[in-house]
A and B are shown apart, each in its own frame.
Chain A
Amino acid sequence: MMDLTNYIGPKYNDFVQKLLDDRQTRYLGIKLITPFTVVLVLLICAAAVVALYRLAFGIGAASNLSDAWPWGLWISFDVLGGVCMAAGGFLIAGAVYICGLEKYHCVARAAILNAFFGYLLAAISICMDIGRSVVIWKALISSQINSIMFIVAIHVVLYTSTLATESSPMFFEKVGWDGARHKVSRCMVGVALFGVLLSLLHQSSLGAVYLIAPGKLSQIWYSQWIPYCFLLSAIMLGLSMVSFETILTGKVWNHPPPRDVLSGLGRGTLIAGILYLALKVFILLDTPGLVGMVTDGSFLGNLYLLEMAVGVVLPIVLLSFKAVRNNIHRLFAVDILVISGVLLNRLNVGIFGVQEFATRSGGDYFPSAMEWILTLGMIAFAILGFKLCAKYLNLFPQHH
């Protein structure tokens, strides 16, 4: 290990040494320099260049957005998608710290950290997406209580801080700041409760963003229930995501995923999925002409059917079998279905669903190379960040 005493002094060197001491997590067998990590780093560097270009030359120069398509890939995937992928954080924190479901304690740290990176992804991307990035703080002090965007902005900031607080004990533990760790642990229940509150509101308010645009967002997705659709699908996806990430880390790193936890998550996904499906079916029957719209073979109708079949109906059918819930490989496949289905839903709402209106007023949109690079770079950032945390922090505490 490097000795930095000569450069930063013994005090900070000691701190760095503690942080970089990976003896505790060596059993996971995480290698830092792999071809995959190199690709991640390259993507992040490319995204950083794009971000600088975007800040210097403006949003119009970096993206293919236009007056007919004011929001594109960054909002639909990074923000809507990133936030809903983070829903696992509040669910697991709530289950462990409030409902006392100790079984899930072993996945809590990873789930919360995962959510933290999801929110970072969303927050950085929205900073890139808004036209005047450096004054984003103005959205927090305006008290525009009629604006969902004001509420969303407040929630992003508060919940990202909450997730950082919830994740901080493993950092304090690592560097040996026991006092701080103790203090955070003592208020963890309150913090978790606050996190649940913020998440319920934030997940649903992202759907509520579209409430003001009836007739712009296609009727297939627009309804007065869209906040609840976003919330329920986020819960479904969140649980799936925790399961996916637990199985995946178990596959690539040397730690066996806890089976009872996974089947519990599968059951949770099933329940959330049934509620979501029930709401969707209710909307389908409640809106006049909607059944015709989704079954007429049009592009949007087909997207809706695909999203519902892949993300909701098929997973529910599969998860209702015990044989699927108790088999890691099958669960993994179902998780992938749910994740792609719900992410498709966010893309449908954010991009495809406004297509009809946008093309009627004269515009077309396909994300520019820079938009793709930034989005890929943000995903790479989340993966690499998670990997580094897994290497240097005690992310999977069941082994102790």
Chain B
Amino acid sequence: MPISRRDLLKGAASGGLLLASGVPAHATMSTTLPPNAVGFLYDATLCIGCKSCVVNCKIKNCEPGGALYQEGMTKPPYETKGPGNSGQWDETQELTGKTLSVIKVYKNGTCQTKDAEVNGYAFFKQQCMHCITPACASVCPGGAFKKDPDNGSVYYIASKCIGCRYCQIACPFGLPRYEWDRAWPEVRKCQHCRHITKKGGITACAESCPTGATVFGKVTDLREEAKRRLALKPGDEYQFPIQTVHSRNRQPRKVARYVDKVYGLTEVGGTQNILLSGVSFELLGFRKYLKNQALPELTWHYIAKIPWVFAGVFIGGTAIYKITHRKEGDKS
């Protein structure tokens, strides 16, 4: 019997070593932009706070295939609780299990000037940023989050979800929302209107934006457009595209003063949705200090050591066992 045990340990240890030698140096997740990555550019200086995008988002995503769709639903899950709301209109205050995108307002002092940090106001949009290396997809134990290898949208497969909510802990933007009021809940987040964009359409938010604050397009084009806008002189006139970044439908508007940053170029390794703003992103509640590092790497440093622990424990343990039980062996 001791021989077979030794063989077993040997096998386990060599198996561990074999595993260890085959461990990739990085997380098994892509850190580069997918070939046809799409997203939107949200320019807060163009946003007038009409919330058309929020309304259209909810309507379009309650169609079959949409991120809010449930079988047998008769109307979108409107949130009609709020001061003065007698159940008449959708009143989204926050991202919730029923709301995938939301427009919020920044206010300071007398709120006189748009896009001014002091005595000003600014609108901003909150929803999934569609990371190039999404933390939610890396941490999900069921594999319920997937990043589309072609257009890069991060989507959710409810049938694989076990409901551990690790995605909520891991998301650097704190975006995935949970259906706390259901007995069989799902995670809700923007999925780039996959049911529309996969057929060549554009996201509901970009479709309905009247000022071109949200424009849809290929990420590479969006980045160029964002950089072009940052290079413009405040006060000059610029033809801002509507709906899509290469749209022929353009509106002339005076260029506002931007903070010198495209949010989403480097944050956690880059995101497919990118933002421009006249007010510093930190004041809008976007987190500072998000390094240019894909978050799954932080975990991978730990995971890559596991096979070595396997090999080490089996070899070390067997050695210790042999040494401490030497006398018994001599006796037998």
Contacts and interface: CB of A to CB of B under 8 A. Distances in A.
B317 interface: yes
A257 B295 CA distance: 49
Query: What are the 8 tightest A-B residue pairs by CB atom distance, in nearest-first order?
Result: A131-B163, A60-B180, A100-B324, A149-B141, A58-B183, A70-B165, A139-B141, A70-B168
Contacts of A151: 303, 306
B164 A357 contact: no
Contact of B141 (A67, A94, A142, A187): A142
Given A145-B303, A149-B164, A215-B172, A190 B5 contact: yes
Given A145-B28, A212-B298, A132 B162 contact: yes
Contacts of B94: 67, 362
Contacts of A357: 174
14 contacts: A59-B163, A59-B180, A100-B325, A129-B164, A131-B164, A131-B165, A139-B142, A145-B28, A146-B138, A147-B138, A186-B1, A187-B5, A208-B299, A211-B299
A209 B166 contact: yes
B162 A148 contact: no
A8 interface: no
Interface stretch (B200-208, B213-221, B307-315): B307-315
B118 interface: no
Nearest to A68: B174
Interface string B110-147: 00000000000000000000000001001111110000
A213 interface: yes
B218 to A, nearest CB: 27
B138 A196 contact: no
Given A187-B5, A224-B301, A357-B174, A60 B165 contact: no
Contact of B302 (A71, A99, A143, A205): A205
A136 B184 contact: no
A193 B298 contact: no
Contacts of A57: 183
B141 A146 contact: no
Interface of B: 1, 5, 8-9, 27-29, 94-96, 135, 138-143, 160-166, 168-170, 172, 174, 177-185, 285, 287, 289-290, 295-296, 298-303, 306, 309-310, 313-314, 317-318, 320-321, 324-325
Given A130-B162, A131-B164, A142-B142, 20 more contacts: A58-B184, A67-B177, A99-B320, A99-B321, A130-B164, A130-B165, A139-B164, A143-B143, A144-B140, A144-B143, A146-B28, A146-B303, A147-B139, A147-B141, A149-B140, A190-B8, A211-B301, A212-B138, A213-B169, A215-B289
Interface in A190-227: 190, 193, 196-197, 200-201, 204-205, 208-216, 224, 227
A201 B304 CA distance: 12
Contacts of A193: 9, 313-314, 317-318, 321
A197 B174 CA distance: 34
B313 A197 contact: yes
Contacts of A139: 141-142, 162, 164
Contacts of B303: 145-146, 148, 151, 208
Nearest to B187: A131
Contacts of B174: 67-68, 216, 357, 361
B166 to A, nearest CB: 5
Nearest to A150: B141
Contacts of A153: 141
Interface in A51-84: 55-61, 65-68, 70-71
A180 to B, nearest CB: 16
A2 interface: no
